[in-house]
Amino acid sequence: MQSPFHVRVRRQGQAAVIAVAGELDLATGPELEAQLGGISPTSTELVVVDLRELEFMDSTGLSIIVRAHQRFAGEGCRLVLVRGSPQVQRLLDLTGVAERIPLAARPEELLDGQ
């Protein structure tokens, strides 16, 4: 049985941490897209997308993350991913996204000093 999809956003200084859980696909993608769209790069230096509780992600979720990375980078804000499940990591590796977007093991690694 799959876990219900949810997105939690918290602020820490100039950082926003977005924790994603469940399955990220065509049906649930708009929720993540809305949360990412609500973050202002002018008041945020770092966006951390925590994938540790994400059980599954398809190309829709991947596309949302890549577009957000491009938008934030264009406005001087960094987007970093926290490693997810083996399925999620495999998708990031196979598509080359893991080489383009920085990865961390835990949000705390990125938030020290924020």
**pLDDT truncated to tens, each residue of the chain (114 aa)?**
556 899 999 999 999 999 999 999 999 999 999 999 999 988 899 999 999 999 999 999 999 999 999 999 999 999 999 999 999 999 999 999 999 999 999 999 888 755
pLDDT of the residue at 79: 97
User: 99 CB contacts (<8 Å, ≥6 apart)?
Assistant: none
Question: In what order do the strands lie in the sheet containing 15-24?
Answer: 6-12, 15-24, 46-57, 78-82, 103-104
pLDDT of the residue at 112: 74
The count of residues in the chain is 114
Question: How many other C-beta atoms can be found within 10 angstroms of the C-beta atom of residue 53?
Answer: 15
The model's pTM is 0.93
Structural domains of the chain sorted by starting position, each given as residue range(s) with its CATH number in brackets = 6-111 (3.30.750.24)
CB 85 within 8 A of CB 53: no
